[in-house]
A = this chain, B = another copy of it.
Amino acid sequence: MGLTVSVAGASGYAGGELLRLISGHPHLEVGAVTGQGSVGAAVGDVHPHLIQYADRRFTATDPAALAEADLVFLALPHGESAAVAAKLPAGVKVVDLGADFRLADPVAWGAYYSGPHAGTWPYGLPELPGGRDAIAAAERVAGPGCYATTITLALAPLIAAGVADPDDVVVVAASGTSGAGKGLKPHLLASEVMGALMPYRVGAHQHVAEIKQATGARSLSFTPVLAPMPRGILATVTAKPLGDAGAARAVLENAYRDEPFVHVLPEGRWPHTGATLGANTCLIQSTVDVDSGRIIVTSATDNLVKGAAGQALQCANLMLGLPETAGLPVNGVAP
């Protein structure tokens, strides 16, 4: 079909995953591939797994070059998307994988981020009520964060249905290391990570505002944990029930019955992050805690796919009038 997409920030993990997914997409070709510290380097030096693009070279993040495509993915560090987006002409569609345009409320923005609030774009989670249509109609879309995606898919239908109390939500979520990016930080060294778990930014993570906005939660306790695996998020969401806790599972089943990428598992089976590896899939299971009566929902995604690049591509498909599922694996790579 001759549609072209360009990727700004393609030397990072989310950018590399975009390239991988685009390589298997039946209707898209890759245009500009930009990277900051990697300008001039071969893709194969930075992403040795991307055999098909091994000889391409990263160029500078030049808005004019990016704008030659039908759609631009921005996979840039926090705070850099706004400046690039501002220089892209109106006719060019944009999906931003960063946080710059996710929040509607400037006060919420100011509570968690530094710098001015850049603005608000439609939120790129197609499975939310109205999400799909809003994305399809948009020129610019803000892709959700990986934690926010995994938690929102588990929780939003329950709050919307009045089954879960939005004033008492507790979330503990563990992520693989690719969620932290490629920064050279001591705690991300393999020697430190392998064989161990560690919480971080406990009770103060910058994605809290986004999760509250997307789920409707009014009080959210959030503890993120770094897990010894390259990819994957497992979220454990517990909420105080309003009315019949046992209704929660049916609410989730109804919400996702026709969704291609979100699956409520049969009873007795729990989400395994390994089952989502490389796939744009979210697996969900729910139960009622025997002792406390709280609703417990667990959900699993691949943070780089449904949590980042896959979801961005799902949005791009909608924005470009392509089949929503084009180029997006549903089956994970396991074991």
Contacts and interface: CB of A to CB of B under 8 A. Distances in A.
A243 interface: no
A50 B334 CA distance: 9
A126 interface: no
Interface stretch (A1-9, A76-84, A194-202): A194-202
Interface residues of A, number: 96
Nearest to A333: B278
Given A281-B51, A291-B212, A335-B13, A271 B198 contact: yes
B199 A271 contact: yes
Contact of A234 (B190, B199, B285): B199
A229 B196 contact: yes
Contact of A298 (B176, B195, B202): B202
A222 interface: yes
A223 B236 contact: yes
A277 B225 CA distance: 18
A333 B49 CA distance: 7
Given A23-B331, A48-B334, A289 B221 contact: yes
Contact of A194 (B194, B204, B208, B265): B194
A331 B197 CA distance: 17
A272 B232 contact: no
Nearest to A211: B291
Number of copies: 4
A114 interface: no
Contacts of A231: 195, 335
Interface in A162-180: 168-170, 172, 174, 176-178
A264 B197 CA distance: 17
A298 B225 CA distance: 10
Contacts of A293: 219
Nearest to A225: B234
Contacts of A199: 234, 236, 270-271, 285, 298
Contact of A203 (B23, B271, B290): B290
Contacts of A20: 331, 333
A142 to B, nearest CB: 21
A189 B191 contact: no
Contact of A189 (B189, B221, B272): B189
Contacts of A220: 291-292
Contacts of A274: 49, 192, 195-196, 198
A172 B298 CA distance: 11
Most buried by B among A192, A281, A293: A192
5 contacts: A174-B227, A184-B186, A203-B296, A208-B291, A221-B238
Given A49-B334, A196-B277, 14 more contacts: A49-B276, A172-B236, A178-B191, A182-B186, A184-B186, A188-B190, A191-B335, A197-B273, A199-B285, A203-B287, A203-B288, A219-B291, A221-B238, A230-B334
